[in-house]
Amino acid sequence: MSKISNTVRVLCVGDVVGSTGRAMFQKHIPHLKEKHAIDVVMVNGENSANDGRGITARVIEELKKSGADIITSGNHVWDKKEVYSYLDQNVDVLRPANYPQGVPGVGSTIITTPHGHSVGFVNILGRVFMRENLACPFRTADSLLTYLKSRTSTIIVDFHAEATSEKLAFAYYLEGKVSAVVGTHTHIQTADARVLPGGTAYITDLGMVGSLNSMIGMTKESVMRQFLTQMPTRFAVDTSVPLVLSGVLITIDTANGRALDIEPIRIYDEELVIQKD
């Protein structure tokens, strides 16, 4: 597919869960990039470690090799301590920007596409129903945009949050100020993808990359046990088919940063066999 020269196409992919999600990502992203003339791929990788919690440097390199340009995260970013040094030395993996100063990594960055367009990315964590006691996501975004908008008008925000109300309020707050606000964390793709009147593309949740008939990427049995007993339970990544890859394709006018279109992406795969870790 050809594209207009003054636009940029950004593929935003939902939470990748374990080796199941990574295998699905690796198989389908190269084809998607070619089919849709995609310039940049952003993916949430905070659940992409083998056990579905956190991320490691090895997993980061695997996702990048498969086509990821920017990897975002959320409340599980600290689950694997070995990633701390990677976050301190690289800006292609983001941790939520509203963590206190002094923690590893950065919450925003700017990359240049092969066609020379600058695209900014921001990762912010919500507070409603989340355990973390963090800075206000709204005011954190204001602070970051003061810097980012001096360098580019094309800005994508991954808002990793639980409550639909908070996600929508955040999108309306940033409407007309950023190119897109995409939600992550709940792993279920929502049916509300649209471009808001102010030119900001929005979806409450991108969905996930993992086993379709699972409990948000984990086996039903391991999660159900916790609901029934209220006891701490170790969840297990589901490897059963069919698998699903969910996200959105956003087309942005680079002259003003306004989104022109947002298209949900949802791929099913019944053939990819996942080896259990």
* Residues with catalytic function: 76
Contact present, 212 and 242 (Cβ < 8 Å): yes
Q: Which residues of 128-139 are buried (b: 16+ CB within 10 A; e: fewer)?
A: eebeeebbebee
Q: Which of 111, 104, 143 is nearest to 42 (CA)?
A: 111
Residue 238 is which amino acid?
D
Give the residues across from 243 on adjacent strands: 211, 269
- What is the DSSP code (8-state) at residue 81? G
CB-based contact 75:184 (threshold 8 Å): no
| Cβ density class 219-239: b for 16+ within 10 Å, e for less | beebbeeeeeeeeebebbbbb
Contact 251, 9 (CB under 8 A): yes
